[in-house]
Amino acid sequence: MTISILTIGYGNLDISQFISNLQCNNVQAVIDIRSKPYSRYLPDYNRNNLEHHLVANKIGYKFQGDKLGGLPSNPKLLTDNLPDYNKIRNTLLYRQGLDYLEKGLEFGCRMVLLCACSDYIKCHRHNLVGYDLERLGYEVVHILRDGSKVQDKRLF
């Protein structure tokens, strides 16, 4: 049996619909992998507010954007001013972040990786973290805006 992990991007989704999507997919914990857990336009998704909403709905919250975020603050992890995923992959912090996820999955935690991007194809949760989790043998499933799911099917 393959172990799966979910991902979700909130885009401009209302917080109540976001929570509903999590509940419909039996999510136990949200792992926030945004480098900067802040939204100017949707304050419900600011780190403290989001954690409050989740806990009120009996969903755990853990920030891991310092390890698994796609916008590194270290300029050495950029190439031509863009995040260089290969450089990020080789950092100790990133490997620690992946290890954290693997431990949660091994203990059977139903978790979802959170980012702001509503289109997972354009997001580091697919192109960086999801890619590496698949290479480790996990199934990555993306929750879409309407709450439906799509499984990553890529060829390596």
**Which residues, in sequence order, are CB contacts of 107 under 8 Å at separation 6+?**
none
Q: Which two tokens stand for residue 89?
A: 């992959």
Q: What pLDDT band is residue 145 in, cutting at 50, 70 and 90?
A: very high
Distance CA 98, CA 133 (A): 8
Q: Which two tokens stand for residue 10?
A: 């909130």
Length of the chain: 156
Q: Which two tokens stand for residue 26?
A: 């039996």
Which tens digit of pLDDT belongs to each residue from 53-83?
999 999 999 999 999 999 999 999 999 999 9
Q: What SS3 class is residue 83?
A: strand
Distance CA 131, CA 145 (A): 21
**Full-model pTM:** 0.95
Hunting for tokens 């109540």 — which residue is that?
A: 16
Give the residue extent of every domain in the chain: 4-148
Query: Architecture of domain 4-148 in CATH?
Result: 3-Layer(aba) Sandwich (3.40)
The per-residue pLDDT of the chain, averaged, comes to 95
Q: Which two tokens stand for residue 62?
A: 């853990």
